[in-house]
Amino acid sequence: MSKPIKISLILIAVFLFGTFVGFLLSDTSISDLNYNTNGTGQSTQNLNSININEYVKFSNIEDIHKKRLELINFIWKSNSLPSQQPVVDTNFNDDRFSDLTNLQKIEKITLEMDHGFISQSYLFLPDNANGKLIIYHQGHSGGFINGKQTIQDFLNAGFSVAAFSMPLHGLNNQPTENIPNIGSVKFFKHNQFVLLESENFSSLELFFSPINSTLNYLENHHSFEEFFMVGISGGGWTSTVYPALDTRISKSFSVAGSLPLSLRNVIDDVGDYEQFHPELYSIANYFELYVLNSTGEEREFYQIFNKNDPCCFAGDAYKIYHEPLKKFVSQFDSGNFDIMIDDSHKEHKISKNTTEFIIQHLLNS
């Protein structure tokens, strides 16, 4: 074969390969995009808005109500939220919080659950109160002691605070359970909860029952005008899902809490078992949970992302669904969904800027 012919064949091969690659890139789906969420990935490619109607099938409030009941039935095997009451020590001391200001007292709230799990949370009641309560939920980094400054900021603004840790963290226990055909298993990681799943029990109870029972207690023994919810990381996930189930919470704020599963394209965004629980998200995907959280009388849901978060859910992936989902929620008579980006720091936390935003929004709404 002559040299000119060889060169021509090589050029044709290069052209065909380039055409093939171009075809693949032009057909890239949402889940195929690479997002720069931690400074090490590729730059975000075309962030074209998605068609929310492909993922959310709600036509009216009745559809939303039915979906909420379906979720409640799956989690609690019941057609309504549980009426369970916790055990409460109405005057409890914890030296770790003795230096908090505008604090009248602490109530310790304990809930015993199936499989030996025990939840312990605190109710912080201020001296000068505004009549409203914030549920504060810590993430996987430890107990709600790690949110002490945030709790103080809320107290300073007159809010009562019910503070929670995730199962197995903080003051919550790490029980040992005998699993049939496996033996005794000590639980210290959420991924182990898959071992507890059955027709009669969902491990999601362990995340949500403590909040539900606390709200039951608060309704019966206190006179709060409104309930709000704020969470960071895993607590941000809880602040996404629980208000979708319980409309007693009117406004919720999830900080670094979740992305739709199709937008999680780096390892750090995958999360623990609860973040990708197959049965839960087959009932309601994240887009639908965001709508459930946002719609209803005086209800609002804010996702807050740390722009340069070294842990998870950083970057620009949210742009794909922010405006379409906000527009979708606006078609209902009441409710609001929105996203706020915090670029004031490079940490995985609730920053001072975010705390001030939440407080001012709640005081002015």
CA distance 144 to 164: 6
Q: What sign results for the dihedral spanned by CA atoms 249, 253, 259, 260?
A: positive
Q: Which domains does the chain have, with CATH numbers?
A: 33-364 (3.40.50.1820)
At 155-166, the pLDDT tens digits run 999 999 999 999
pLDDT higher than threshold 90 for residue 356: yes
Return d(Cα 139, Cα 362) in angstroms, integer: 22
pLDDT in tens, 65-120: 999 999 999 999 999 999 999 999 999 999 999 999 999 999 999 999 999 999 99
Q: Are 289 and 327 in contact (CB under 8 A)?
A: no
d(CA 346, CA 189): 27
The model carries a pTM of 0.88
Residue 35: the pLDDT is 30
Give the mean pLDDT of 6-13. Answer: 40
- pLDDT single digits (tens) 288-316: 999 999 999 999 999 999 999 999 999 99
DSSP-derived 3-state class of residue 105: strand
Strands (E), the chain: 87-92, 105-112, 118-125, 132-137, 160-164, 176-179, 183-186, 226-232, 249-255, 300-306, 336-342
Is pLDDT at 283 greater than 60 in this prediction? yes
Q: What is the pLDDT of residues 187-202, one digit of tens each?
A: 999 999 999 999 999 9
* Res. 47 pLDDT band, cuts 50 70 90: low
Q: Which residues pair with 348 in a beta bridge?
A: none
Flag whether pLDDT at 230 surpasses 70.
yes
> What does the alpha-carbon distance between residue 365 and residue 211 come to, in Å, rounded to a whole number?
24
What are the Cα distances from residue 271, in Å, to 4, 35, 189, 229, 268? 56, 16, 12, 21, 7
Q: Which residue has the higher pLDDT, 171 or 25?
A: 171
pLDDT at residue 3, as a whole number: 41
